[in-house]
Amino acid sequence: MTDYVRKILTSSVYEVAEQTPLERMELLSERLRRDILVKREDLQPVFSFKIRGAHNRIAHLTPDERRRGVICASAGNHAQGVALSATRAAIRAVIVMPTTTPVIKVNAVRRLGGEVVLFGDGFDAARAHAATLAERHGYVFVHPFDDPDVIAGQGTVGLELMRQHPGPIGAIYVPVGGGGLAAGIASFVKFLRPEIKVIGVEPEEAASMKAAIAAGKPVPLDQVGLFADGVAVRQVGEETFRLCRDLLDDIVTVSADEICAAIKDIFDDHRAITEPAGALALAGLRRHVELGQAVEGPLIAINSGANVNFDRLRYVAERAEIGERAEALLGVTIPEIPGSYRAFIRLIGSRAITEFNYRYASGANANIFVGVKLTRGDAEKAEIIDLLTAHGLTVTDMTDNEVAKLHARHMVGGRAKGLTDERVFRFQFPERPGALLKFLEGLNDAWNISLFHYRNHGADYGRVLVGVQVPADTDKDFIDHIDAIGFPYWDETENPAYRQFLHAP
């Protein structure tokens, strides 16, 4: 540990990297009633802490190694660090990246002067190919984590933390992929202030350090999830394992939904958008606090990076409320009779409905997929389920059902056999508590609802697609009736999307 402290204190990272701020999470601290801070490594020149280790390794190259050039394998953040550092030093840099790497990271590496080679479906395949190219062409391999100079470079994060927060610290939460950042931070912090807990955080679907510690040696995972691609490592390094095994106080694993919730927390507090791996440490911190497992004192999480594809944010926004237990997804069976919707919504009461999917099917019962906004987490969800069950409804909790969250919620319905006289309308109404109930109250039981889809998107206006069975001789009466409701609407009966996918010929 003494050797690593010396290497950290004499590292060359500040030729390229910057000392990043340590910022308090005001909103989250108030909500969780703890003093929570984040280290903003997303503000580095390449939007990730990886510049530190990459530059420190390249700074230690010999003249002969500089002439040969460098090569690395990376999902993106280490690649950007190597590309920038090598370009600054006028050294050739070949970067092998998995074919699954987000486009934003590939383009960033090219802009920084790296020669990109796309190979394999994950980091391990890319690393093996990089090793082959290094042997064939004589490049110097710059390891993303299992190298003493890289570990020391990452350890400067710990050095800065000790300077920025000289007062008491309960625990520092660090994201773990290959283990370089955790090993570096723990080496410095445990040497200087051993009373501070250093806790590693891994995704449930890529917990390679936890598996290694359990096995007593680095072991490969059978499968690695790619949601948090910055830490999607199948097997940790020998050196990082040795250090993390001895220096980390604990390792906590979190779900993708919890990571999404942490991304939202950082945005709410700092208006900054992190990549999934960047919010990983905060997700682990939140889990420990919510389970009552966090130690006393201020808690620090490392925001490790912000290299995220913009289109990934659609998934993040969809899952964040589930991750913070602010939305329940329920499958509910109600009687297939007029007025059942209204009765169901009345049971929900003043709670905000975030989603409501239904499609007519012949039979005595109807199945609906409903999302309900929660203010008191799982306890409130249990109250809702008990209330619905007490009124004779069958309820299935789908909040943690991956198939329901990813697929079924968007596929409820289809073509209904034997359905006649269906008209389809799109309605718009102000998005405020009770607006959906007002809409349903305005519909008359004389016309049967045959299709219903509503999703709260956080906008000022709610949007509903409704199918209603309207016999031809009541058409004028129906139009007069929906005119009286007062909400803008559009007749979508001839819309090609409806005719092709939902209409029953």
Catalytic residues: 50, 304
**Integer Cα distance of 232 and 30 in angstroms:** 32
Report how far apart, in Å, the C-alpha atoms of 29 and of each of 130, 266, 316 are. 44, 12, 22
Q: Structure tokens of 29?
A: 């601290």
Report how far apart, in Å, the C-alpha atoms of 208 and of each of 58, 220, 225, 317 are. 27, 7, 11, 27
Q: Structure tokens of 247?
A: 């220096």
User: What dihedral angle (degrees, nearest 10) is formed by the CA atoms of 381, 384, 388, 389?
Assistant: 60
Q: Structure tokens of 487?
A: 């909400």
> Looking at this protein, which amino acid is placed at residue 68?
R
Label the pairing between strands 448-455 and 461-469: antiparallel
State which H helix or E strand residue 107 sits in.
helix 103-111
Counting Cβ atoms within 10 Å, is residue 283 exposed (0-12), middle (13-18) or buried (19+)? Answer: buried
Q: Structure tokens of 117?
A: 């080679």
Supply the angle between the helices 50-59 and 180-192 in degrees, to the nearest 10: 90
**Integer Cα distance of 368 and 347 in angstroms:** 14
Report how far apart, in Å, the C-alpha atoms of 218 and of each of 75, 152, 211 are. 20, 20, 8
**Integer Cα distance of 70 and 83 in angstroms:** 9
> Looking at this protein, which amino acid is placed at residue 344?
F
Q: How many CB atoms neighbour CB 364 within 10 A? A: 8
Beta bridge partners of 462: 429
> Looking at this protein, which amino acid is placed at residue 177?
G
